[in-house]
Amino acid sequence: MKAIARAHTNVALIKYWGKRDETLMLPANSSLSLTVDQFYTTTALEWDESLQKDSFVLNGKEVEDAKVSRFLSIMRQQFQLTSFARISSENHVPTAAGLASSASAFAALALAGSAAAGRNDDRKYLSKLARLGSGSASRSLYGDLVIWEKGNRDDGEDSFGVPFTSELTKDLAIVVAVVSDEVKKVPSRLGMQSTVATSPFFPTWVQEAEKDLVAMKEAFAAADFITIGEITEHNAMKMHATTLGANPPFTYFQPKSLQVMDKVRELRLQGIAAYFTMDAGPNVKVLCERKNEKLVASELTKVVKDVFICHAGEEASVRIDEA
């Protein structure tokens, strides 16, 4: 039986940065993200007893991928299966945007793997499963705003994504400014490992992120967009500050990233509420209200060539291919 799943990527407004358990992929802090409509992964999977090994085709090319292999073994163990998987996956992301996130990838893989095994797993279970592929994937099972609760248990059973509702969700836009199409030098997994192990700022980051999440929930409850934006920007910069304190120090900032940030500050001086955030790569994502998205996008194209306007995206979905 072949299942075809689709999951969207997400952009964290309160970042996940650092693990308390590398094997179970448990985060040091809780995080909050917006699932976005523009970027997604579609994955078709069937468990096939006739296969001698797993087969993974990504964007039309057969590839060996250690993270995917590890994840398939986890699914086999959890589903009590012995067969290998035939997978075909497409990342629907703008060319060279550097946004082929592991979040949409592992959310789609978990959902397709489960459905193809004839299971009817609930979202909480799937979120915990996807987390074992990539932490941020635990949030991509859901649409709109999602909180990944860090949990406190050692076995990770209380660490999963939970939908967070706000009347503001439909008014939000994230304008992505593509700064570079190069593969990042420090993958997020290695970057956070190095930060946890060597940055003296890491413990402070964890405390700050927890405080930011509390303040963020209050700001959403009050529908206070300016405070939401301010917390988003400050939280991202605190995360990036930890990388400068790592040993050896590293940064995801590129000169163009800083230029985009300057442009956003300039917009604010003109009265446009826009706030930047960045992940483990140089591209800058600008949070604004939908009513200002075209203006923000057109101003950002003065700094970078490619700009994409995103809104809240749907939850991950799956269908069985009867053919």
Tell whether residue 199 is a contact of ligand DP6 (CB under 6 A).
no
Distance CA 243, CA 221 (A): 32
User: Which option in ligand DP6, ligand ADP, none does residue 25 bind, with CB closer than 5 to 8 A by kind?
Assistant: ligand DP6
Q: What is the closest distance, in whole angstroms, from the C-beta atom of residue 257 to ligand ADP in the complex?
A: 15
Distance CA 6, CA 17 (A): 25
Tell whether residue 159 is a contact of ligand DP6 (CB under 6 A).
no
**248: preceding bond cis by omega (within 30 degrees):** yes
- Give the footprint of ligand ADP on this chain (CB under 6 A): 41, 43, 58, 65, 67-68, 89, 91, 100-103, 105, 109, 187-188, 280
Judged by CB under 6 A, how many residues of this single chain contact ligand DP6? 14
Tell whether residue 16 is a contact of ligand DP6 (CB under 6 A).
yes
Tell the burial category of 8 from Cβ atoms under 10 Å away from its Cβ (0-12, 13-18, 19+): buried
- Whose Cβ is closer to ligand ADP: residue 68's or residue 219's? 68
Q: What is the closest distance, in whole angstroms, from the C-beta atom of residue 221 to ligand ADP in the complex?
A: 30
Is there a contact between 35 and 315 (Cβ–Cβ < 8 Å)?
yes
Q: Which pair of tokens denotes residue 211?
A: 């405080």
Q: Which pair of tokens denotes residue 250?
A: 């590293």
Identify the CA nearest to 18 among candidates 162, 182, 204: 204
Per-residue binding string, ligand DP6, 223-262, x by CB under 6 A, is: ----------------------------------------
Which residues inside 119-148 make contact with ligand DP6, applying CB under 6 A? 134-136
